[in-house]
Amino acid sequence: MKLTTQEQDMLDGKHGDAVREALAYQLEIGRFWDAERFVPISNAHMMGDIEVMGDAGLAFLERACAQQARCSVPITTNARCFDFAHAESMGQDMTEAVKERKIIRLMRDMNVVTTDTCINYQTVYQPHLGEHIAWGDTGTVIYANSVFGARTNFEGGPSALAAAMTGRTPEYGFHLARHRRGTISVRVDARLEDVADWGAIGKIVGERHQNYFAVPVFHGLQRAPVADELKHLGCALASYGSMAMFHMVGVTPEAPSLEAAFAGQTPVDEMVITDADLEHVYRSYKRGDGSANLVVFSGPQLSLFEMKELSEMFADRKVHPGTQVYVTTAASVKASAEQLGYLAPLETAGVTVLEGVCFYILQNLSQMRMANGWTNMISNSAKIVNIIGAHRFNTLLRRTADCVDIACTGDLGGGTS
Amino acid sequence: MNNSVSACLDSLSVQRAYGPVVEGEALISEEGFSPRYDLDRWSGVITKPGHKLEGVSIRDRICFFPTAKGGIAAGWAFYDIKHKSIAPRAFIFGVTNPVMVQGAVFAGIAITEGWSKLPAEVVQNGDWVRVDPGRKVIEVLRRASPPEADGGPA
C-alpha cells in the first residue's frame, strides 16, 4: 500500500505506540484486500462489549489505554450486552457486569462516545453521499451505504477503533465505486405491510446470494418504504447474505434509474418476489414445542416511531401470564418515549423495555433461555430470528400485530401461518 | 513453523491469504460460518440447530467454509476464542467478508479466500493439511483414510 508521509510517521511510531499498532493492523487488512491506499474517514461506529470481547478483549483495551490510545475522529458504540437496571433480575452474571462497566470507562477514556445503539443512523449521525466512514454492526453499514450513499465496509470492533485512532481506513470494497454497482435484479411484486415483510424479502434475497460483494437492486415496488422498513430490509440482507449494500430504484441516492443502479453491469440473477413468496417464508418456521412464552422486538433496536406503534398496539392489553416480552431500544429513544407517553402503556401491559442493548447479544443468554424454559422465540425481526441460532432457540418470524397477539394470548396459533 | 516442504498428496491454491504457516486436521463444511450465529464461543462447538456441522468442535482444525455469514462479531470473537484456546488453526473461505479477515488478523489466525478447485475434490474431513499463506497454497499431507475406502460414487 502506498503511504502518505503522515501515515509513514504513524507507522514509525511518531504518533505513539497505540497509533503505530493500529495502522500496522490496518495495513495487514488492506494488503489482504489489495487496497492501494488509505482513505480519510469522518466517523466511526464500533461494537465492543464483554459478551463478544471476552477477557482477552478487555485486556486489549486496558493495554491500549495504558498506551494513551485516543480516537481522533468521532466514534460511537453499538448496542451492548447489559442494561444494568435489569441485569440482576434477568439473571445475568454480575461479575461480567463489572467488566462491562470497565469497558465503558476505558472507551470513554479513549474518547469514544458510548451511545450503545445499533440505530446510530436514526438517532446519532447521518453521513452524506460519498462520505467515507468506518462502521459496524452490519445493519449500520448497509444503511449507510445504501440509503445515505456513504461509503463503508463492515468494520469489526478492533478495526473501527483503529480507524478512529488513525483517522483512516484501507480503501477497498465499498469505498470503491466499482463495488457499488448492482449485481442482482429483484422485482418486488408483493404487498409489504409490515417491517417483518421487508425483513422477509431480505431473507429471501440474502439466503440465495451469500456474498459480501453482491448488491441487489430492488425495483417495481408499489410504494416507497419508510426508514424503519429500509432498516429491517437492510438488517436482513446483511444478516442472511452478509451483504453491505443494496439499491432501490427511485429511493436510494445511487439508483435514480435501473440503468444507473447497475451502471453497465449485467445482473447475475433476476428474482421476482411475490406475496406467495412472503407467505412461504412465514410458513417455513417450525413450531417447535408450540410454546409462546418469549416474544422479542429487537435486533435492530426500535425507533421512536416503532415504539409509538407498539405502544398503541399494547394499549389496554396485558401480556399473557407466563409469557415474557422484551423490547430493546436506544437510551435516547426510551427517554423520548417516556416523555411522550409511549412507554407507560408498554410497561403497564407487562412489556420489559431495555435500553442500550440488543436481545441477541445479552450476556448469559443461553443460561437465561434454560432458566426461563424458553424454547421458541417469536419476533418481527428477520435478523434476530436468524442471528440467535447459536443460543439454540427455535425461532419464528411473525408480523408485528401477530407478535402482539401471541404475546397477549400465549398462543402461537394466533400468528400468521 | 514448517520450513521444510514435505511431499504433499494434493493441493489447491487460494486467491488471498494472511497469517502463519499452519498444519492441522481438515474440517469441511457445506454451510457458511459466523462465530455469532453458529458457534458456542465458550466451548468451540458449533451449536446452531440444523447447521451442517452441529455438534462439531472447530478447535485446532483447518476449517473450510464456502461463505461467511453476518457479522461484525468476528472482529473481537476470534481474538476471544484464540485466548480461550478453542480457535481453529486456519479459516479457509470460498467467499469471505472483511470482518472475518479483520478478526483473523487481530487474532493472528491464518485466513484465506477463494479456491482454485472445490475443497471436496481435494480434501476430506480428517485429512492432515498444511496452509501456507505466503505461497497461497493448501496442501494435503496425510489422508485420514484411503480415498477409495468409502466406495462412494465418483
Average pLDDT over residues B55-82: 93
Is residue B154 predicted with pLDDT exceeding 80? no
* Closest CA–CA distance from residue A232 to any residue of chain B (Å): 14
Cα–Cα distance measured from residue B112 to residue B132, given in angstroms and rounded to the nearest whole number: 10
Of A28, A57, A390, the CB nearest to B79: A57
Chain B residues lying within 8 Å of A242, measured CB to CB: 32, 67-71, 97
pTM as predicted: 0.95
Give the pLDDT of residue B6: 64
Give the pLDDT of residue B49: 85
Average pLDDT over residues A378-386: 97
The answer to whether residue A155 neighbours chain B at the CB level (below 8 Å) is yes
**pLDDT tens column, A11-48:** 999 999 999 999 999 999 999 999 999 999 999 999 99
Is residue A190 predicted with pLDDT exceeding 80? yes
CATH class of A5-177: alpha beta
Is residue A203 predicted with pLDDT exceeding 70? yes
Average pLDDT over residues A335-349: 98
Report the half-sphere exposure of A35 (CA within 13 A, side-chain side).
24
**pLDDT tens column, A58-109:** 999 999 999 999 999 999 999 999 999 999 999 999 999 999 999 999 999 9
Yes or no, beta carbons of B102 and A137 under 8 Å apart: no
| ipTM of the shown complex | 0.94
Of B32, B97, B111, the CB nearest to A154: B97
Of A54, A154, A239, the CB nearest to B98: A154
Give the pLDDT of residue B2: 45
| Local confidence band at B37 (pLDDT 50, 70, 90 cut-offs) | confident
Which stretch of A70-79, A147-156, B1-10 has the lowest confidence by average pLDDT?
A: B1-10
* Closest CA–CA distance from residue B39 to any residue of chain A (Å): 6
Give the pLDDT of residue A414: 47
Q: What are phi and psi of A192, to 5 degrees?
A: -115, 105
Average pLDDT over residues A364-370: 95
Delineate the domains of chain B, giving CATH numbers in brackets. 10-145 (3.50.30.10)
The answer to whether residue A286 neighbours chain B at the CB level (below 8 Å) is no
Average pLDDT over residues A110-133: 98
* Closest CA–CA distance from residue B43 to any residue of chain A (Å): 12
Please check whether the two domains, A5-177 and A288-409, share a CATH topology. Answer: yes
Of A31, A34, A52, the CB nearest to B76: A52
Give the residue from chain A lying closest to B46, CA to CA.
A390
End-to-end distance of chain B based on CA atoms, in angstroms? 36
| Local confidence band at B4 (pLDDT 50, 70, 90 cut-offs) | very low
Report the percent of chain A where pLDDT is more than 90. Answer: 98
Mutate to test the interface with B, among A80, A154, A385 (most CBs of B within 10 A): A154
Domain residue ranges of chain A, discontinuous segments joined by +: 5-177, 181-282, 288-409
- Looking at every residue in chain A, the average pLDDT score rounds to 97
Residue ranges of A 367-396 with Cβ closer than 8 A to chain B: 386-387, 389-392, 394
Residues of chain B in Cβ contact (below 8 Å) with chain A: 16-18, 32, 36-41, 47-49, 51, 67-77, 79-80, 82-84, 95-99, 101-103, 105-106, 111
* Closest CA–CA distance from residue B118 to any residue of chain A (Å): 17
Q: What are phi and psi of B130, to 5 degrees?
A: -115, 135
Q: Does domain A288-409 have CATH number 3.30.470.10?
A: no
Give the pLDDT of residue B117: 93
Vertex B71 angle, CA B68 and B77, to 5°: 95
Residue A385 vs residues A191, A255, A296: alpha-carbon distances, Å? 22, 30, 10
Give the pLDDT of residue B71: 81
Interacting residues of B17 by C-beta distance below 8 A, sequence separation 6+? A32, B110, B111, B112, B113, B131, B133, B134, B136
End-to-end distance of chain A based on CA atoms, in angstroms? 54
Yes or no, beta carbons of B41 and A212 under 8 Å apart: no
